[in-house]
Chain A
Amino acid sequence: MSSVFVSSPYVAPVNSLQRLMIQVIIALLPGTLTYAWLFGPGVLINIALACVFALMFEAAVLKLRDKPVMVHLTDLSAIVAAWLFALCLPMHSPWWLVLVGIGFTMIAGKHVYGGLGFNPFNPAMVGYVVLLISFPREMTTWYLPASVSGATLSFSEALAYSFGGVDIQQWDALSSATPLDQVKTGIGQQIAISDIRLSPVFGQFAGKGWEWISFAWLIGGLWLLLTRTIRWHIPVALLLGVVSMATVFYLLDMESYASPLFHLLSGAVIIGAFFIATDPVTAATTDRGRLVYGLMIGCLIYVIRVWGGYPDGVAFAVLLANMCVPFIDYYTQPRVYGEK
Chain B
Amino acid sequence: MPKLHHFPGGIKLAGHKSESLVQGLQQASLPRQLFLPLKQHIGEYNKPLVDVGERVLQGHVIAAGSSLICAAVHAPTSGVISAIGNFPVAHPSGQSDTCIVIDVDGKDEAAVPVLPDLQQADAQRLSELICRAGIVGLGGAVFPTSPKLSRGKAQGIDMLIINGVECEPYITCDDSLMRNYAAEVLRGTGYLQRILRPQGTVIAIEDNKPEAIAKITAAFAQSGLTDTEIVAIPTIYPSGGEKQLIQILTGKEVPHGQLAFDIGLFCQNVGTCVAITRALEQDQPLISRVVTISGDNIRQPGNWEVRLGTPIRHLIELAGGYLHSDSPHLVMGGPMMGFSLSGDQVPIVKASNNILVMREQTIPHSPGYHDECIRCSKCTEVCPASLLPQQLYWHVRARAYDRAEEFHLFDCIECGCCSAVCPSTIPLVQYYRAAKSDIRAAQTAQVKSDHARIRFESRERRLLLKKQQEDERRRLKREALQKKKAGSTASSADPVQAALERVKARKQIAQEEST
Contact = CB atoms under 8 A, between A and B. Distances in A.
Interface of A: 1-17, 19-20, 68, 71, 75, 77, 114-118, 231, 280-281, 283, 285-287, 329, 333-340
B374 A8 contact: no
Contact of A3 (B8, B360, B411): B360
A336 B387 CA distance: 6
Contact of A117 (B247, B375, B391): B375
Given A17-B374, A116-B372, A285-B380, A8 B331 contact: yes
B384 A333 contact: no
The 9 closest A-B pairs by CB, nearest first: A9-B416, A117-B372, A15-B423, A280-B376, A7-B430, A338-B256, A337-B385, A10-B335, A12-B364
Interface stretch (B174-182, B340-348, B473-481, B487-495): B340-348
A283 B411 contact: no
A14 B363 contact: no
B242 to A, nearest CB: 12
Interface stretch (B69-77, B267-275, B322-330): B322-330
B479 to A, nearest CB: 68
A53 B51 CA distance: 76
Max chain A C-beta neighbours (<10 A), residue from B8, B371, B373, B387:
B371
A11 B391 contact: no
Given A8-B338, A9-B365, A10-B364, A20 B377 contact: no
Interface residues of B, number: 74
B374 A280 contact: yes
A11 B11 CA distance: 12
A11 B327 contact: no
Contacts of A1: 327-329, 343-344
B236 to A, nearest CB: 14
A4 B358 CA distance: 12
A17 B374 CA distance: 9
Contacts of A340: 255-256
B506 interface: no
A6 B385 contact: no
Contacts of B330: 2
Chain B interface, DSSP helix/strand/loop, else mixed = loop
A283 B356 CA distance: 40
A62 to B, nearest CB: 13
A304 to B, nearest CB: 25
Interface of B: 7-8, 11, 13-14, 92, 94, 169, 243, 247, 253-258, 327-331, 333-344, 356, 358, 360, 363-367, 369, 371-378, 380-381, 384-388, 390-391, 407-408, 411, 416, 419-425, 427, 429-430, 433
B384 A337 contact: yes
A14 B360 contact: no
A334 B258 CA distance: 20
Contacts of A116: 371-372, 374
Given A2-B360, A9-B416, A77-B374, 16 more contacts: A4-B340, A6-B430, A8-B337, A8-B339, A10-B338, A11-B416, A13-B364, A17-B371, A17-B423, A117-B372, A281-B375, A287-B380, A334-B388, A337-B411, A338-B256, A340-B256
Nearest to B345: A1
B430 to A, nearest CB: 4
A1 B375 CA distance: 37
Nearest to A77: B374
A8 B335 contact: yes
A17 B388 contact: no
A114 B422 CA distance: 20
Nearest to A71: B369
Nearest to A335: B386
A286 B367 contact: no
Contacts of B365: 6, 9-10, 13
